[in-house]
Amino acid sequence: MERTTITWVDGHVETIDQTVLPELRLLRLSTVDEFVDAIKRLVIRGAPLLGAAGALGVALAAAVSGRVGYDPEQVRRDAELIASARPTAVNLRWGVEQVLPFVDEGADAVLVAALDLAAADVTANKQLGRRGADFLREQLGDRPLALHTHCNAGALACVGWGTALGVVRSLQEDGLVRMVFADETRPLFQGSRITATELAELGLPHRVVVDGAGAGLIARGMVDAVVVGADRIAANGDVANKVGTYPLALAAARAGVPFVVAAPESTLDPATPEGAAIEIEERDPDEVLVVGGRRMAPAGTGAVNPAFDVTPADLVTAIVTERRLIRPALGERPS
């Protein structure tokens, strides 16, 4: 089933609540506070979706302001609240900034720009997905492939289609997917709850594996390629993605397996020179310590909960965007 993850309905933003998937629950966001809270709680999540959400969030701020006497300064203050709701995925601030120039023209102009930006996400994902699939066919030959992915970089992490799963979907169109291994992706299980749901809907053969199993599967020759998304790509090609991505890249490099990052141009951040300069979101320790309402560690034991890690450019076989193929491991730089 092809659905749009975020839409504008009667002056509100309507989105899928990604915290309760695989249960499908739609949520209507009517105020900027609700919107910012939804981003912080990962109701709305995934880098490309956060880009569209940034733009639609400003449209919501403008619509709300329009109801009480339009105030562009207030809209700009709200825009900053939205842009800073989460720090790592650069797409969020990018999406906000794309529509800021329209704020002085009024709420309708912001909305039109935001909807255009959201629609462009689907087109971009189809293009980068095809580019990634063609690259893997060229590297590995036309044979059915076993792919490994981490977190969720499918349609639900985007407005539609998906980035890493966009590559998988293009390979599926070519009849070349033998298996998809999806890391469960602790602590919040985006792999089990979201990626597996999407793979099942697409009719793709798949297995969920614990995050710690990935490197071993790769070492045992069970994986032909690793394909992941990204939340921010520094100018030198270092890639920030969901925590647990870096170990897959290490294992892939050791095994000589391609490690492909699929992301739209909006995830590239020329202003950040290298991965060390990327702010890594630190989240609530209880996301690690409490599973399904039950505390797994003794009272008094704390946790470190970085939401992302950084894979150095030399481990990245290729970055595919809607416009180009970049080979960081061969010394090519995105910016």
Q: Which are the contacts of 72, defined by CB distance < 8 A and separation ≥ 6?
A: 65, 103, 104
Asked if residue 254 belongs to a known ligand binding site, the reply is no
The rounded distance, in Å, linking the Cα atoms of 103 and 55 is 11
CB of 45 to ligand MRU, least distance (A): 3
- Could you give the angle at the alpha carbon of 19 between the alpha carbons of 15 and 25, nearest 5°? 45
- Could you give the angle at the alpha carbon of 213 between the alpha carbons of 224 and 128, nearest 5°? 40
Residue closer to ligand MRU, measured from CB, 223 or 307 = 307
**Phi, psi dihedrals of residue 262, rounded to the nearest 5°:** -110, 120
Asked if residue 190 belongs to a known ligand binding site, the reply is yes
Residue closer to ligand MRU, measured from CB, 46 or 107 = 46
The rounded distance, in Å, linking the Cα atoms of 263 and 207 is 23
CB of 103 to ligand MRU, least distance (A): 26
Question: Which residue has the closest beta carbon to ligand MRU?
Answer: 229
Asked if residue 241 belongs to a known ligand binding site, the reply is yes
133-167 burial string, b = 16+ CB within 10 Å, else e?
bbbbbeeeeeeebbbbbbbbbbbbbbbbbbbbbbb
Binding site for ligand MRU (CB under 6 A): 42, 45-48, 89, 151-153, 157, 163, 190, 229-231, 241-242, 307
What is the DSSP code string of 211-225?
A: GGGHHHHHHTT--SE
Residue closer to ligand MRU, measured from CB, 204 or 307 = 307
CB of 294 to ligand MRU, least distance (A): 22
| Helix (H) or strand (E) segment spanning residue 308 | strand 308-311
Quick one: the chain helix, strand, coil %, rounded to 5? 45, 20, 35
Q: From the candidates 211, 224, 231, 269, give the one annotated as an active-site residue.
A: 231
Asked if residue 45 belongs to a known ligand binding site, the reply is yes
Asked if residue 152 belongs to a known ligand binding site, the reply is no
Asked if residue 236 belongs to a known ligand binding site, the reply is no
Residue closer to ligand MRU, measured from CB, 229 or 334 = 229
Residue closer to ligand MRU, measured from CB, 21 or 114 = 21
Decide: residue 293, CB within 10 A, 0-12 exposed, 13-18 middle, 19+ buried: exposed
What is the DSSP secondary structure assignment for residue 332, as one 8-state letter?
-
142 in catalytic set: no
Residue spans of beta strands (DSSP E) within 74-157: 145-149
The rounded distance, in Å, linking the Cα atoms of 75 and 9 is 20
CB of 107 to ligand MRU, least distance (A): 28
Asked if residue 331 belongs to a known ligand binding site, the reply is no
CB of 206 to ligand MRU, least distance (A): 16
Residue set of the binding site: 45-47, 86, 190, 241-242
Active-site annotation, residues: 231
Annotated binding site for substrate: 45-47, 86, 190, 241-242
